[in-house]
Structure 1
Amino acid sequence: MSVQIDYTSRDFSGYRDALLQYATQVLPEWTSRSPADFGMVMVELFAYQGDIISFYQDRIADESFLATATQRSSVVAIAQQLGYQPHPAIPASGQVAFAPAPGLDAPVTLPPGTQVLTDYIPNLDRAIIYELTSAVTVPTYTTPVPQAVGLVVEGTTQGDRRLSLYPSSSGEPEETVPVEDIGTSDGAQSQVFALAQSPVQLDTVRVFLDDGVGGAEWTRVRDFLLLRDTDPAFTATTDDQGVTHIVLGDGQNGSIPATGIKLAAAYRTGGGAYGNVAQGAIVDLADGLPGVTVVGSAPMAGGADEETTEQIRVNAPRLFRTQGRAVSAQDYADLALAVPGVANASAVVRSSSAVTIYIIGPNNLVPSEGQRDAVAQFVQERALSGVIVNVVSGSLVPVNVGDTERPVRVSVLPQYRRDTVRLAVQRAIQQVFAPPETTLGARISISRIYAAIQDVTGVDWVVIPLMARADLPQSATADVICRRSEIPIVGNTVVTASGGV
């Protein structure tokens, strides 16, 4: 007996109808279709279970592809398979000025790691801590009062004990670092150890083998592909829950520590856009030091939150396409995305031997000098022979939509609250300029703004009398066209609403 099966009908009603159709062929004597009939109860239970199983089958299939996955864990895993490591939160940095207090009669050296902090911040329920990246010597007190300036970076060094390192082969002096014990090797392949604190600044992670007398440092690598079985190396990755994992080799690509050897890690935590505080926000040393005061600080910059899921969807395929080499202009731009803290990049070929890469940080922030240097070094190693790579920060171009004299006019449908719709329209306009909706060299059309506003629930009609770059005459409505070095951001947005409730 042949049965025609519709494989596209996979919901409750489809399964129910298919089961009843099959029942008429194998049990023609059963004709009752009453909901109270026990046979109908069983048919509907099987249809219900089939509907649930079909749902999970569809979800599993969707989570296997970058474009359709909804869980961040799936998107991160696929990106890592493509060789793309989504960037974690990035710490802000800047300069802090120190001065001697009256009576200081001998210079005081502040070692690297000395902590300074802001006032209490209610939104965070704490102060923000920054640490010196190098030693700063504060001179003796004189008149006028001298100052010493040091570079600080947001975050905190972790570790509950100090480990003495063996001298390197170059004969450099012994170093002592604060470390956290992360586990003991069991001699297995590809051992994984989790760091206790988060968010971890990946570029600060160091791993040591501790024999009880001193520590031998292992090398951090991006992957184990080109390693020998004796290479002491590890990788560090952060999962979708924010936990950072240390992964060791398998004995063929990367060495395996001997059984019983203890492992320790040194790293810093912190990072996020909250660290971009204003000038003068850093006010004191975390641990009071007699004779030294904080007298000022520059604006902290460069801090950014972890890469969003939507940004990962855009950047991972672009990096995979390059296959680790730069030939075309697009290759140079795509390779820059592999450097943590680069959210968008555009390359311009100046000549056959010079390429300029413009980069933008997460959330359309201007990248720091360190990020630009990191991109230049990373891309230069993969560039064609004889090509010089220059890296420049992209320019942010504010775009004004309406002004006080010519606001965006929105008519609200009678059954909707006017103020609620007006705020929703402002958010819709801002979303047009939010990453990853905009890129370097993007063109923002007036029709795109109209479409975004018309999609807001409760909008009847809208008129936009002004849309223009902030650096051009504010006189008309026209598409905004940016150069390859420019990225549009939202400027002044003025919306008025009429109608509604």
Structure 2
Amino acid sequence: MNAYVCCDEKRRAAVAASTLNGIDYLEVLDADAPTPADRQRILRVHFLKPAPPGLTPANVIITGGDRITGVSADDVSYGADAVVVHLNAYGDFSTYRLQFVAASGSAFNPASLDPQLSFVDFSFKAACSTEFDPARRFAASAPPPRLAPNIDYLAKDYNSFRQLMLDRLSTVAPRWTERNPADLGVALVELFAHVGDLLSYRQDAVATEAYLGTARRRVSVRRHARLVDYFLHEGVNARAFLHFEVDSDVVLKQGAQAYTAMPGQAARLAPGSDALARVPAMGPETFETMEDATLFAAHNRLSFHTFGDGRCRLPAGATSATLKGSLDKLKVGDVLIFQEALNPRTGHSGDADPARRWAVRLTKVTLDQDPIGGSFLTPPIAGATPITRIEWSRDDATPFAFPFSASLTSNGVAKQLDDVTVAFGNIVLADHGASFIDQTLGEVPAPKLFRPPSGADPCTPGEPTPIPARYRPRLRGSPLVHAAPYDPLLPPPSAAATLRTKPEEATPPVALTELRAGQQPAAWKVRRDLLASEAEAADFVVETESDGSTYLRFGDDVHGQRPPQGATFEARYRVGEATRGNVAADAISHVVSADPAIRSVRNPLPAQGGVAPESMEHARRAAPIAFRVQRRAVTAEDYETLAETHPEVLRAAAAFRWTGSWSTVFVTVERRGGAAIDADFANRVRVFLEPYRLAGHDLQVNGPKYVALEIEMRVIAKPDHFRSDIEQALMAVFSSGLTPDGGRGVFSPDKFVFGQAVYLSPLYAVAQAVDGVAAAQVTKFQRRGRPDARALVTGKLDMARLEIARLDNDPDFPERGVFRAIVEGGK
């Protein structure tokens, strides 16, 4: 008999439709037996048709068994739907067979049963559990293992694979000795050797790219570094302030392109013109505006108002000025660029210092009038003249002095020179990179490979699982620009902050649109990674290799959505090499616009901020220790360390206090340059620390407690020096401002920090270094308004934990510290 196991039982259906009968299935009564003694001794045999008559125990033959044999029927009866066979004993765990045969004295005709359905295999222990593995019983009868061929598994290249196969063929087919390259067998051997060489290379590449220290592809290094929370940055493009001159008011939209100088080209290039079509062949650097702007003819060139005084200048560190005229269209947030237009010594524009230029973002604009300003006009008129007062943040404080006017003497004649320094409006922020539209990403392919159905039951295999085809399109344009985020509606508070960018925060400006027939276009969002993307999120990642080639990686329906089959994509992005955008001042001189009112464009200041992509070697060194960076604040020292990473904070001190309901951490900060800790700055520091704050702690930011000093010094001047000169020099040195030689005073704001004591010995050293001082003695050394001689005796004035010594020596603010010098001797 055949021991087949078939899923489609077609013979059963054929027997049911014929005149023959057959066994359908068999039941072994175990727990449902009438009595415990009958357990596993009663069999119920079901037929496809009504049971054949005349069955007796002699017609029942039971074979099989390993430990228990000789099982036979001692009674046969007919039930409602089955033949009940009672046995003399039950069997063991092996397989038994029940078969109906002919017997003397029986009316049963075996020919009425189909030969294939006249028997059935069964087990007495189907309902019994066992801890033994039934497959072990067949281990003894398993064939001996085949001996593996002697193969050199160190073969890894084409020549070794070819020789390995030829040697093996010499063993299994010794009569085949053909070695002609044209022979079919040799050709097949070489073909397989080639395939093996490719697979071996892929295996080696996988092993190489599996580790940060050996990976050769930039994408592999980027992914390894991301696992330890380190982002391999791709650089950031440069930014520049563009100044536009217009004949009338013009609205300039975001994305307007400007180019570096191209000989023979007009300043304004009309869209669609032949001149614009020749631009790519000339290879200029491209910049695009980052905000919508309205350009005003009145803001082309602005003059400073000096209230009639001559030889005026805007000092270093200034944060305010006054402009001529009523500039009612000038508003807070606008950027102005101060530029030396004439050389104050020669009066020629060609001699102007190109380094004396500075950008400021206005924080306050006030329209006002000069009541006698008309008397300073040429010719003079009676009455007031309109003026505009402007202010900017301390971050944009002028780094050097700007002369407004000068006096020149030519041939013995003095001449007043005005507008030495002017201000330029119509300043628009732009960054480096040219927009590019890529419609060649291709269609998402259909799956070509399928996983076979899996399941324990071979008769219900299920459907094969398709393996999604890999869709990793490559962008045609390169290198891809990465830009720092910028919101035109919420610009940075200063012009300096606008030009400061961090490559770690830069992202690729790629706009991806999904196009499918019969559906609306759908936008996909670029992400730094897909770890936080939901399964249905339309996110993608941009990955760049070392050669500049750029690929798009999509999700897998677990982290990010997989692109649907048949969809196509259109990509809009920008290209440009990051460091090439750091062009010099006045390098940009062309703009693309259809408005003829635009006269010219230039960048008064150099473009800056362009940073090249981070090298893989740097990432290999930095990534393994990136996770050691503290990114939470638990202790007071944590808050101090994190606060000092703020660019405007010099020192910080923190302390926990119980405020009645919860703990509050008070962070006391010292601002760089000694600036005041106003509400706006405190809020910025609080926002900066908020991501690191421990849950359950309140956070407050305040300023330090400044301690005004009172110092009196008795100085003996040398005979050949004037007492007034020495006193003036001492007053400048013992202050918080700048000394005549450009240095900083002893009590400059950044020289003293929290709790730092003030010692007498450095004060003596500074006084002795002043030219003309023969001797010096400090006669008073104390806190202002608190007479105490102890510090003078010990030579040290102590400060509390949150106190900072202060001595501005400003006659208008004596409460900020006073220094007195009593100079004797000299002249």
TM-score (norm 1): 0.46
The structure with the largest alpha-carbon Rg is: 2
Question: Larger relative contact order (C-alpha < 8 A, sep ≥ 6)?
Answer: 1
